[in-house]
Amino acid sequence: MKLDRINYDELNSKQKEIYNFHKVASKLADYGFNCIKLSDDWQGADFLAYHKDGDQTLKVQLKGRMLVDRKYIGKNLHMCFRIGDIWHLILHDELMRIVEEASPETFETLSWERGTYSWPRPPKKICEMLSRFALNSK
């Protein structure tokens, strides 16, 4: 059997979401997490990640890029997104604090007035502050 690698850019949005889920689930396995893909956004989560020790279950919203959203505030929801080739996992409200510190003007934009703000490439200062939330390969 011959397997051909896919071109990510040729996938539709649902296929990209599934692809990204499996990439992230693989990385989280290195940290002792098992991931369960949800069929709907349960409490804002695309998937659950529960730790092998049974002491931690994360609700995770998976995004193709960094995003903050009013609807996620106070929901104990983790955001998982890629910056370049590196996946990051961070509690949404912690991400909000980082954005407020590094780029307070974000919250004065028309996008934020509408309730959400995303970055195709976050500013360098934000990237530096997010480095401790990177899911590094072992």
**Would 96 be classed as within a structural domain?**
yes
Mean pLDDT of all residues in 98-114? 93
What is the tens place of the pLDDT at every residue in 4-32? 999 999 999 999 999 999 999 999 999 99
Work out how many domains the chain is built from and give that number. Answer: 1
Q: Give the Cβ contact number of residue 24 at 10 Å.
A: 23
Has residue 1 been placed in a domain? no
Evaluate if residue 137 carries a pLDDT over 80. Answer: no
Secondary structure (DSSP) of 74-133: TS-EEEEEEETTEEEEEEHHHHHHHHHHH-GGGGGSHHHHTTEEEESS--HHHHHHHGGG
Looking at the chain, the whole-number percentage of residues with pLDDT higher than 70 is 99
What is the domain extent for residue 27?
11-133
Q: What is the mean pLDDT of residues 59-64?
A: 95
- Kindly give the pairing relationship between strand 45-51 and strand 57-62: antiparallel
Q: Does residue 3 lie within any of the structural domains?
A: no
Examine residue 115 and state whether it is found in any structural domain, yes or no: yes
pLDDT for the residue numbered 77:
97
The domain that holds 39 is classified in CATH as 3.40.1350
pLDDT at 138 over 70: no
Whether residue 79 lies inside any domain: the answer is yes
Give pLDDT tens digits for 62-77.
Answer: 998 999 999 999 999 9
Q: What is the pTM of this model?
A: 0.91
Residue 4 maps to a domain: no
Dist. CA 84–CA 70, nearest whole Å:
25
Q: pLDDT-based confidence at 37, cuts 50/70/90?
A: very high
- Tell which residue, 89, 98, 59, has the closest CA to residue 76: 59
Indicate if the alpha-carbon torsion angle 36, 37, 39, 42 is positive or negative.
Answer: positive
